[in-house]
Amino acid sequence: MAKRAIFQGPVEIGETPVYAEGTSAAALVPGYVVTRSGNTLALLNAAATNATEALVVVERGSGFKGDITTAWAIGDTVRAVRLRSGQFVNVACKTAQTLAKGDFLTSKASAGGLLEKGVAGTDVPLFFVEEAVTTSAAGQLVLAYKA
């Protein structure tokens, strides 16, 4: 079954994610990982460091939600979330990766906002995988939680 939502919870009082709204610097699809510079949200296209702010695109801003498979144009207002500990989200990943529950996801140079399986001792974890899956397409959504 295709996934239809990005933020997965938990939904408890006081446990909502931290939202960031900004203008897209690229065509964005929900689930893609972005970074913030002022009022601009750009694809995270660099190797993650301990200082990397990884936000996950959730929806178009200003009340225009749309669907989660259609890219929004450069310059659109979009909303992204910065997860708190214990919160789950569907994130867009690179294709042809076999992921096991507990693997970690990271970003690398020219990632295009897509996450990939990290190498322990080499890469900085951004998210941990919560399901076993083999990605069959670029941008496939994978359930994960904040590292």
Is the pLDDT reported for residue 13 higher than 60?
Answer: no
For residue 113, being part of any structural domain is answered with yes
pTM of the model: 0.86
Tokens of 129: 């995988």
pLDDT of residue 122: 93
Domain annotation covers residue 2: no
Residue 45 within any structural domain of the chain: yes
* Segments forming the whole domain that contains residue 24: 7-146
- The pair of structure tokens assigned to 107 is 């970003």
Looking at the predicted structure, is the pLDDT value of residue 10 above 80? no
Give residue 18's pLDDT. 83
* 128 domain residue, yes or no: yes
pLDDT tops 70 at residue 2: no
CATH code: domain of residue 104: 2.40.300
Please check whether residue 61 lies inside any domain of the structure.
yes
Put the strands of the sheet holding 7-9 in their side by side order: 7-9, 88-93, 140-146, 127-129, 104-106, 116-117
Contact assessment for residue 8 and residue 90, using Cβ atoms and an 8 Å cutoff: yes
Lowest mean pLDDT among 9-18, 99-108, 116-125: 9-18
β-strand pairing of 88-93 with 55-60: unpaired
The answer to whether residue 1 sits within a structural domain is: no
Burial of 82 (0-12, 13-18, 19+ CB in 10 A): middle
More confident: 61 or 82:
82
Neighbour-count burial for 19-36, b at 16+ CB within 10 Å, e otherwise = ebebebebebbbbbbbbb
Residues whose CB is less than 8 angstroms from the CB of residue 89 and which lie 6 or more positions away in sequence, other chains included = 6, 7, 8, 17, 56, 81, 83, 127, 143, 144, 145
CB atoms within 10 A of CB 131: 11
In a domain, 114, yes or no: yes
Total domains in the chain come to 1
- Decide if 90 is inside a domain: yes
Least confident of 14-18, 63-67, 73-77, 125-129: 63-67
The answer to whether the CB of 21 falls within 8 A of the CB of 77 is yes
Q: What is the pLDDT of residue 1?
A: 43
